[in-house]
Amino acid sequence: MVLVLALGDLHIPHRAPDLPPKFKSMLVPGKIQHIICTGNLCIKEVHDYLKTICPDLHITRGEYDEETRYPETKTLTIGQFKLGVCHGHQRLTSLFPIYRLKVISWGDLDSLVMLQRQLDVDILVTGHTHQFTAYKHEAGVVINPGSATGAYSSVTCDVNPSFVLMDIDATRVVVYVYELVDGEVKVDKIDFKKTTATTAH
């Protein structure tokens, strides 16, 4: 069992002063094995803070990131899952309808699924919209952890702070979403079992 924290679009300090205290108290060092951050941190202080939660940190670049050396996309393997990360400002992310926690058919998504095909990954983590979404389709999962600070977005109104924890166990992943709604943390989950090998020809 491996715990992976996925978060992004913190936009500190341009749009939010800090993570919500309730989130901060949940994110304690030593419990999480990997962090996936989709980008827009935006400053080094936040990078350093994430490092304190877990040193294994994978970041892709958002368009407001001070650090320009973050890659545009990144892939990594955890358990039997191949994960891909990309912020998404380069992809026309608003193209897909906003459903939450939905099991949809492979193909209802556009460029993100294309990206998923391109990176050849089971789980694609993206950001940019500040709207938490998780899609499960026949070939994998697409997750957008939303904005961990609930930062203003020109794409989405009424942003609630949210992040995602993935519990990966060999071929099974349970995705927990933590969302701060009116000061209360709400948790939701979906799970996904891998059936086909992505790299098989």
Partner 1 sequence: MISDGVEDEDKWLASGIAGLQQNAFYMHRALDSNNLRDALKYSAQMLSELRTSRLSPHKYYELYMRAFDELRKLEMFFKEETRRGCSIIDLYELVQHAGNILPRLYLLCTVGSVYIKSKEAPAKDVLKDLVEMCRGIQHPIRGLFLRSYLSQVSRDKLPDIGSEYEGDADTVMDAVEFVLQNFTEMNKLWVRMHHQGPAREKERREKERSELRDLVGKNLHVLSQIEGVDLDMYRETVLPRVLEQVVNCKDELAQYYLMDCIIQVFPDEYHLQTLEILLAACPQLQPSVDIKTVLSRLMERLSNYAASSTEVSNGMLYSWLQSSNRGTDDDFMVQVLPEFLQVEAFAKLNNYIGKVIEAQVDMPIAGAVTLYSSLLTFTLNVHPDRLDYVDQILGACVKKLSGKGKLDDSRATKQIVSLLSAPLEKYNDIETALKLSNYPRVMEHLDNGTNKVMAGVIIQSIMKNRTSISTSDKVEALFELITGLIKDSDENLHDEIDEEDFHEEQNSVSRLIQMLYNDDPEEMLKIICTVRKHILTGGPKRLPFTVPPLVFNALKLVRRLQGQEENTAGEEVATTPKKIFQILNQTIEALSTIPVPELALRLYLECAEAANDCDLEPVAYEFFTQAYILYEEEVSDSRAQVTAIHLIIGTLQRMHVFGVENRDTLTHKATGYSAKLLKKPDQCRAVYACAHLFWVDDSDSIKDGERVLLCLKRALRIANAAQQMANATRGSSGSVSLFIEILNKYLYFFEKGNSEISVSAIEGLIELITTDLQSDNTTSDPAADAFFASTLRYIQFQKQKGGAMGEKYEPLKV
Q: Is the peptide bond before 21 cis (omega within 30 degrees of 0)?
A: no
Residue 63 contacts partner 1 per CB under 8 A: yes
Residues 151, 41: contact at Cβ < 8 Å? no
Residue 14 contacts partner 1 per CB under 8 A: yes
Side-chain-facing half-sphere of 100: CA atoms under 13 Å: 12
Identity of the amino acid at 9 = D
Residue 18 contacts partner 1 per CB under 8 A: yes
Tell me the window of 39-47, 52-60, 174-182, 186-194 that interacts with partner 1 (CB under 8 A). Answer: 39-47
Residues 2, 168: contact at Cβ < 8 Å? yes
Shortest distance in whole angstroms from residue 165 CB to partner 1? 25
- The answer to whether the Cα torsion of 200, 140, 112, 151 is positive or negative is negative
Binds partner 1 (CB under 8 A): choice among 34, 58, 74, 89: 89
Residue 110 contacts partner 1 per CB under 8 A: yes
In sequence order, the 6+-apart residues with CB closer than 8 A to the CB of 133 are: 98, 99, 100, 101, 142, 143, 144, 146
Which residue, 111, 114, 124, 31, is CA-closest to 76?
124
If the CB atoms of residues 34 and 128 are measured against partner 1, the closer one turns out to be: 128
If the CB atoms of residues 110 and 169 are measured against partner 1, the closer one turns out to be: 110
If the CB atoms of residues 138 and 169 are measured against partner 1, the closer one turns out to be: 138
Shortest distance in whole angstroms from residue 24 CB to partner 1? 12
Residue 43 contacts partner 1 per CB under 8 A: yes
In sequence order, the 6+-apart residues with CB closer than 8 A to the CB of 101 are: 133, 134, 177, 188, 190
Residue 90 contacts partner 1 per CB under 8 A: yes
Binding site for partner 1 (CB under 8 A): 11-18, 21, 43-45, 63-64, 89-95, 105-107, 110-111, 114, 117-118, 120, 138-139, 151-152, 154-155, 157, 198-201
